[in-house]
Amino acid sequence: MALAFALGVGTQNSKNEWLEVFYQKPVFQPAADLVEAAKAAGYTSGNQAIELNTEKLETLSAALTGEQAALAKTLTASKAPTVLVVLESDEPSQSTPEVYLKLQLISHRLVKPHGIDLSGMFGLLPNVAWTSKGAIDLAEISDAQLQARMQGEVLEVFSVDKFPKMTDYVVPSGVRIADAGRVRLGAYAGEGTTIMHEGFINFNAGTEGTSMVEGRISAGVMVGKGSDLGGGCSTMGTLSGGGNIIIKVGENSLIGANAGIGIPLGDRCTVESGLYITAGTKIQLLDADKNVVEVVKARDLANKPDLLFRRDSISGAVQCVTNKTAIELNSELHANN
């Protein structure tokens, strides 16, 4: 079974190099007949990105069925470049359209973070200006600004980055996003997630669902259902510090305001506000009578459930006790339908 099939429309620079691609209806693990129909547009085998013209789109539309046939027919009227991408297997990408397809598969919730090969992607994602008129090559932005001014307009540049915001490509159902610019394409926002103004979700990261995000979910980090990331808190991503530990937050856990983690948390854990735990942090383990029974490194507590991490107000030592109260998110606050 093939990995993915998608028809897209995107932007190229003056050298006909791809800057970005939008896929309205990508298909994950397409049926064999869909891949077979792609041969009408020149697909042979393996992973390919094939630029399409009106003739190829019409031929493809005749070979396809259902909504993909309708989409191909619709794209015949496109004034922007169009492309067909077929991924036969999950391998490192070889083109910009391939990378954009993989990122959108994640944001469409068709693939979870760490569920698809994103290696080598940075070299294939051009750094572009994301503007009120779409993606523009940095070498061409000055001319575009001049042209806009000559027409009595102002070309607004929202960011200069390799990644656009997710909502320009995918708007998942059942979520609230207060500031769309803080959620990158390739984020996975589970059903019921609320992302407040200071919340952030990077690519290849996200939430399983019904989570409150007021902190930072870094690349590679997944947050379990029912968990709360307090204002200004941080999760150490897989791109940080050269580490290869996959950081996650279990279900019904809380990372307090301005706190942070560099270890994976288990279910029903709490990290008190202002406390940052790295893998090497020395932690005192307390018994029911609050006596220190052992001192361990935080990495030894990775993925263990029902823990409360706090700092002793007198000695300043980081301590860990059994978490007797699991958090419960406000059901009305998270009714995002």
* pLDDT value at residue 243: 56
Clarify whether residues 224 and 81 are in a common domain. no
pTM, whole model, 2 decimals?
0.93
Residues 179 and 218 occupy one common structural domain: yes
Is the pLDDT at 242 greater than 50, yes or no? Answer: no
Asked whether residue 235 is domain-assigned, the answer is yes
332 in any annotated domain: no
Side chain identity at residue 14, one-letter code? S
pLDDT tens-digit profile of 294-324? 999 999 999 999 999 999 999 999 999 987 6
Q: Are residues 232 and 306 in the same domain?
A: yes
> What are residue 136's DSSP bridge partners?
129
pLDDT of residue 332: 43
Q: Is 285 exposed, middle or buried (0-12, 13-18, 19+ CB in 10 A)?
A: middle
Domain with residue 285: its CATH number is 2.160.10.10
DSSP string, 37-104: HGGGGT--SSSEEEEE-HHHHHHHHHH--HHHHHHHHHHTT-SS-EEEEEESS-----SHHHHHHHHH
CB 11 within 8 A of CB 18: yes
Percentage of the chain with pLDDT > 70? 94
Residue 116 lies in a domain: no
Average pLDDT over residues 144-150: 98
Tell me, yes or no, whether 181 and 51 share the same domain. no
Give the residue-averaged pLDDT of 112-134: 97
The torsion angles phi and psi of 282, rounded to 5 degrees, stand at: -80, 130
Residue 333 reports pLDDT greater than 60? no
Residue 329 pLDDT greater than 70, yes or no: no
Same domain, 184 and 156: no
User: Quick one: 179 and 304 in the same domain?
Assistant: yes
Token output for 246: 């996959």
**333 is a domain residue:** no
What pLDDT sits at residue 336? 59
Q: pLDDT tens, 77-109?
A: 999 999 999 999 999 999 999 999 999 999 999
Residues in the chain: 337
Tell me the catalytic residues.
214
Residue 122 lies in a domain: no
> In terms of domains, do 147 and 202 share one?
no
* Same-domain pairing of 141 and 189: no
Answer with the residue of higher pLDDT: 241 or 309: 309
Last residue of a domain, one of 145, 161, 177: 161
| Reported confidence tier of residue 262, pLDDT bands at 50, 70, 90 | very high
Q: In the listed set 115, 141, 161, which residue is the last one of a domain according to the structure? A: 161
Candidate from 53-57, 178-182, 245-249 with smallest mean pLDDT = 245-249
Same domain for 101 and 8:
yes
Q: What is the CATH number of the domain that holds 134?
A: 3.30.60.70
Instruction: Give me the long-range contacts of 73-82 (CB less than 8 A, separation at least 24).
Output: 75/7, 75/9, 78/9, 80/9, 80/10, 80/11, 81/9, 81/10, 81/11, 81/12, 81/16, 81/18, 81/51, 82/7, 82/8, 82/9, 82/10, 82/51, 82/52, 82/53, 82/57
Same domain (yes/no): 273, 296: yes
Q: Is residue 336 part of a domain?
A: no
Residue numbers of the domain that contains 137: 128-161
Q: What is the CATH number of the domain that holds 56?
A: 3.30.70.2010
For residue 114, being part of any structural domain is answered with no
Q: What is the mean pLDDT of the chain?
A: 94
The H or E element that residue 161 is part of is: strand 157-161
Tell me whether residue 337 is in a domain.
Answer: no
Residue 240 banded pLDDT, cuts 50, 70, 90 = low
Under DSSP, is residue 179 helix (H, G, I), strand (E, B) or coil?
coil
Residues 193 and 154 in one domain: no
Per the structure, how many domains does the chain have? 3
Are 132 and 60 in a shared domain? Answer: no
Amino acid identity at 227: S
